Structure 1
């Protein structure tokens, strides 16, 4: 077999490990992705890279391909290792809730699934039903969605197979229900929304792995405990008092103990992610100094400084 092999396409040795193959694939796809590459043949190269990875990442397909490389004149028709196993195409760049694709709210773990430009051609297929491959993606949500539940709509160009084995694409909107109490890292399964099966095989499933969108006011720890910064005035920290705080769990009246310090955590039990065993909400105190914008304000700060200087 004199033409370039899939190993040549990915730039790996024939005995490369699965991890090395995946690493090389991701590096090349990022380099030649048509949305960012200036290479005039970027689309063609991306298709070749996708085809090579789709074969070499699968142990059974790779073994059959290696056998073909070792004995190309075995007197049988070679199996199709081309692009007939294409993936999703994105036609719209926005989702139902108005979040742009480029924001990183939604991305496929296997890049070829989202951006594969598969060649639509007839291939030799086995006679037995073969299930479609599962696909994995990541979906970013606000922390508030985990408290109250939410719904998202994803508009995708989904792959389908015709009766004669041709790959076509049709627009489909997937409605995703995000359950109340979902935690970061948890997956939502969309049955039958993966790659299509062959010869009557069932479609694969699409798994959406949840992550929380970055938020300057909140972060999540241990999957269900929520930390929120709370700005308080110096006199509130010294004297204590009750303040009303807007939290993902709603508006809460919070008692600030006298003598509180900056960086101190106030624990609100059971006010974290409302899972089966709810997490806790921690308010991280941040003492915010008011600005001395006029002579009167500066005089007050000077009186305070003089008072403590005398002590």
Structure 2
């Protein structure tokens, strides 16, 4: 028989995490499920579906994966595989002895895991386990980051398949109810309370809002990742700092002025020094987003000088007077 590279079957590196293995399996199992194909494509999908299930049966089980990884040090894809004489303890037997045919597993699998797999199916695995944790993102306005909010979240949560108790197989083979995924999906809406003082990139753990537990096991948790929504006035510069434009009239830039400025923390009177230039930045310390208990980022005001579109005759006369005053300096 040929050595089978289960990592290659799932399209993942040998360093893949448990989460990456599960994600790859579910994606491929859905893609190649035989019920989604017809004609010649259906037979090819069935073979791929069996291979994907077999790969996950090994790599999704820490004990099986460890045993398989030891074997993988000495074998490569496509090489002839001979259990005897390798110094590794294999189960050399007839696949039919353990009735693995109904599960669609290869002789390669049966020679390594057949007896262990069959005994577990006969005695049964623990029926109680914790529901899956799930992750989601939520965009909050700057005001909501500062003050907190209550939000309705529309979630799709994975629950253990009732027909196979989340094991992906029944006594007849791959579970027809969940298609070998071991789970079904439920859409639900939950109300969550967002505490004040968050910053973009923060994560909240909401206990019990993940996938449903099975057999008395606790429900999984929801990990909510916080993002900042766009704002008409303030732009996010980094994790906690904000920027905004401060528009001045030419005379305000030349002579200085006090300008009312709206910040996330309320309105302030900002003193602009005489002679400020377009593009300069003024820093309002601590007027940005939260970045820890009692600490806030800054708000940076970027100076823009606006030339009025319409001027009165008197204003034009004054500008011409300034022009005349500057003319001798320009000639010199």
Find the aligned partners of 2:265 and 2:241 in 1 and give their Cα distance: 12
In structure 2, distance between residues paired with 1:287 and 1:309: 26
Distance 1:295 1:237, change over 3 A: closer
Aligned to 1:267: 283
**Which structure would you say has the larger Rg?**
2
Equivalent residue, structure 2, for 1:310: 328
Give the count of matched residue pairs: 255
Deviation of 1:206 after TM superposition, in Å, equals: 1.0
Structure in which a larger fraction of residues adopt helix: 2
Alignment CA distance shift 1:216-1:307 (3 Å)? farther
| Structure 1 residue 190 displacement after superposition | 1.1
Give the TM-score, by structure 1 length: 0.61
Query: Matches of residues 120-269 of structure 1 in structure 2 within 5 Å?
Result: 126-127=125-126, 129-161=128-160, 164=163, 165=165, 167-215=183-231, 217-220=233-236, 223-269=239-285
Note if contact 1:267-1:280 (Cα within 8 Å) is conserved in structure 2.
Answer: no
Q: CA deviation at 1:241?
A: 1.2
Structure 1 runs not aligned, ≥5 long: 34-38, 80-123
Displacement of 1:8 in angstroms is: 4.3
Q: How does 1:92-131 map to 2 (within 5 A)?
A: 126-127=125-126, 129-131=128-130
Closer/same/farther in 2, CA of residues 283 and 309 from structure 1, 3 Å limit: farther
Give the TM-score taking structure 2 as reference length.
0.58
| Cα distance in 2 between the residues matched to 1:50 and 1:149 | 44
**Residue by residue, what CA displacement relative to the aligned partner does 1:61-82 show, whole Å, maximum 9, x if unpaired?**
7447778875424543748xxx
RMSD: 4.6
Matched residue of 1:307: which SS? helix
Change (3 A) 1:255 1:152: same
Gaps of 5+ in 2: 32-36, 72-104, 167-182
